[in-house]
């Protein structure tokens, strides 16, 4: 084979090796479903670029202490911080790709050459030469001592190493956004549980008040039974009502214990009594938060930013996988001291030795593996793109539901408040009629039972209204700032 043909075959082989499969790039700007312009038809369309900090919304001192403690001691936050440290280590490792690998080493060895080898014959003839001194004669077996530096450097001609570093940087940024998302959920969960605890406290107060009222009604019925104006059935029904209310009170007491334990666990401590201000649940949060426009979600929601950075990382991985099809350029160098006699090792410049080697290699037989790596990177990119689109649509849906929930729970609370007012009047009326004999114990029993149920429902609606605000704040991406 002639030299020209050999060169042509080499060039043709490199051309085949450098041919890469076609991969369609994906990015957040190519999302298939565009965001609507508003969440609700009559929603506030202000930009809402920055959300208020959680301290300005959950300004109760006891709640602020719980959140501050959780941000320092919560286990999920600590785990998220460790994920950041892991990503930081990978990022620092990726930075070394662009730099030469330099090391220092020492070696000592011994070689025995056969008499019937080229080295054996050559060394024998060399020792007979008149041009060498006795110190330069080559012994057999031959010792070898070395001390020096070794360096290896891959030239990043096609951007393979640069894109690996870019991928590591994007993953590091994604882990930071992941930590922010953990904080967002943590702040919302603590605030929601705190509002639930306040509602349970109020429910407990209502139950205590109703037990007193029910006991008063029972005492009146017992007196009327003694004078023949009531029967034992009335006493038994009202007594059963009191016991039922006490059972509900015990159940609420257990719920209070569990809510407090949940708050202390989220704060990273053992179960304890949680200080709270019940009046905080009565605060009017109207106008403290607006939905803004949907595009602001992309900047506010840490889970969307995390998904975006993960997509950026997969794009960089694809570019690095493509670059693996192209030839790689390496430079290897050694420099140091070398001698076959240890007493001459430190003599300079006589013992100084060095070598430099440049190499160029292109994949040939392992193209199937490289192609598989590229296809795997492409699949990861598509998965990251689908996840990004999912996060965007899910975020919009969450805000849409939370905004409607605030509007509807506010109306539910208003209507239930009117109902409770009417029922409280009904209780007073039933007592008056019962005392003058114009109503039976069943009317009193029914009025008390219905009023108790409505009072508890009123508390629940207020709790739902407050939690709806918390959910909207979380869905908009608040809590981590």
pLDDT tens digit sequence for 9-67: 454 555 555 556 667 667 776 666 677 777 776 655 554 556 788 888 888 899 999 99
The pLDDT score that the predictor gives to residue 191 is 94
Name the pTM for this structure: 0.83
What would the mean pLDDT of 446-454 be, rounded to a whole number?
85
| pLDDT over 80 (residue 348) | yes
The residues, ordered by sequence, that sit 6+ positions from 478 with a Cβ below 8 Å of its Cβ are 51, 52, 54, 57, 184, 187, 300
The pLDDT value given to residue 7: 52
Of 446 and 288, which is predicted with more confidence? 446
**CATH of region 25-99+178-327+369-475, choose from 1.20.1250.20, 3.40.50.720, 3.30.2350.10, 1.20.1600.10:** 1.20.1600.10
Q: How confident is the model at residue 170 (pLDDT cuts 50, 70, 90)?
A: very high
Residue 391 banded pLDDT, cuts 50, 70, 90? very high
Answer whether residue 76 shows pLDDT above 90.
Answer: yes
The C-alpha angle with vertex 371 and arms to 366 and 373, in degrees rounded to 5, equals 100
pLDDT tier at 326 (50, 70, 90 boundaries)? confident
Whether 4 shows a pLDDT value over 70: the answer reads no
For residue 462, how many C-alpha atoms fall within 13 Å in the half-sphere facing its CB? 23
Mean pLDDT of the 417-437 span = 82
Sketch the domain layout of the chain as residue ranges: 25-99+178-327+369-475, 102-155+328-361
CB neighbour list of residue 172: distance below 8 Å, 6 or more residues apart: 84, 87, 88, 90, 91
269 phi and psi angles, rounded to 5 deg:
-130, 175
| pLDDT bracket for residue 121 (50, 70, 90) | confident
H or E element at residue 311: helix 302-323
Q: Say how far apart CA 415 and CA 151 lie, in whole Å.
A: 79
Say whether pLDDT at 73 is over 70. yes
Q: Specify the CATH class of 102-155+328-361 in words.
A: mainly beta
Beta bridge partners of residue 334, listed in sequence order: 150, 355
DSSP letter at 346?
A: T
Instruction: Tell me the CA end-to-end span of the chain in Å, nearest whole number.
Output: 71
Q: What is the DSSP letter of 404?
A: H
Residue range 456-468: mean pLDDT, rounded: 92
- pLDDT digit string, tens, across residues 126-137: 777 878 888 888
309-321 confidence digits (pLDDT tens)? 999 999 999 999 9
């Amino acid at each position: 084979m002639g030299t020209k043909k050999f060169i042509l075959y080499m060039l043709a082989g490199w051309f085949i090796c450098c041919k890469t499969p076609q991969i369609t790039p994906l990015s957040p700007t190519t999302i298939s479903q565009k965001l609507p312009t508003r969440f609700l038809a009559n929603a506030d369309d202000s930009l809402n670029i920055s959300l208020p900090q959680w301290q300005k919304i959950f300004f109760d001192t006891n709640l602020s202490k719980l959140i501050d403690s959780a941000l320092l001691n919560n286990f999920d936050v600590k785990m998220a911080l460790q994920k950041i440290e892991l990503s930081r280590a990978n990022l620092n490792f990726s930075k070394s790709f662009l730099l030469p690998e330099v090391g220092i080493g020492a070696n000592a060895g011994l070689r025995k050459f056969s008499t019937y080898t080229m080295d054996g014959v050559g060394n024998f003839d060399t020792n007979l030469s008149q041009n060498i001194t006795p110190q330069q004669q080559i012994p057999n077996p031959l010792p070898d001592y070395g001390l020096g530096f070794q360096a290896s450097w891959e030239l990043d001609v096609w951007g393979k190493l640069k894109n690996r570093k870019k991928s590591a940087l994007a993953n590091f940024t994604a882990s930071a956004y992941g930590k922010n998302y953990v904080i967002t959920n943590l702040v919302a969960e603590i605030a929601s549980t705190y509002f639930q605890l306040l509602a349970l406290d109020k429910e407990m107060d209502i139950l205590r008040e109703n037990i007193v009222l029910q006991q008063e009604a029972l005492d009146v019925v017992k007196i009327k039974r003694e004078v023949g104006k009531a029967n034992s059935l009335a006493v038994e029904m009202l007594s059963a009502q009191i016991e039922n209310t006490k059972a509900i009170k015990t159940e609420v007491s257990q719920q209070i214990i569990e809510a407090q334990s949940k708050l202390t666990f989220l704060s990273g401590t053992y179960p304890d009594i949680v200080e709270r201000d019940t009046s905080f649940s009565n605060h009017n949060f109207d106008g403290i938060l607006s939905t803004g426009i949907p595009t602001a979600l992309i900047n506010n929601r840490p889970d969307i930013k995390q998904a975006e950075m993960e997509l950026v990382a997969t794009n960089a991985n694809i570019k690095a996988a493509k670059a693996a099809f192209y030839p790689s350029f390496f430079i290897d160098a050694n420099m140091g001291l070398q001698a076959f006699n240890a007493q001459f090792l430190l003599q300079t410049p006589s013992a100084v030795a060095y070598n430099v080697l440049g190499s160029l290699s292109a994949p040939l037989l392992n193209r199937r593996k490289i192609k598989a790596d590229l296809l795997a990177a492409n699949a990861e990119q598509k998965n990251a793109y689908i996840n990004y689109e999912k996060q965007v649509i899910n975020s919009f849906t969450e805000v849409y539901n939370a905004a409607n929930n605030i509007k509807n729970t506010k109306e539910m609370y208003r209507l239930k408040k009117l109902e409770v007012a009417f029922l409280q009047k009904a209780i007073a009326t039933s007592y008056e009629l019962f005392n003058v004999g114009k109503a039976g114990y069943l009317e009193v029993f029914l009025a008390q039972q219905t009023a108790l149920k409505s009072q508890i429902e009123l508390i629940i609606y207020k709790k739902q209204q407050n939690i709806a605000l918390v959910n909207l704040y979380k869905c908009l991406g608040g809590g981590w700032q």
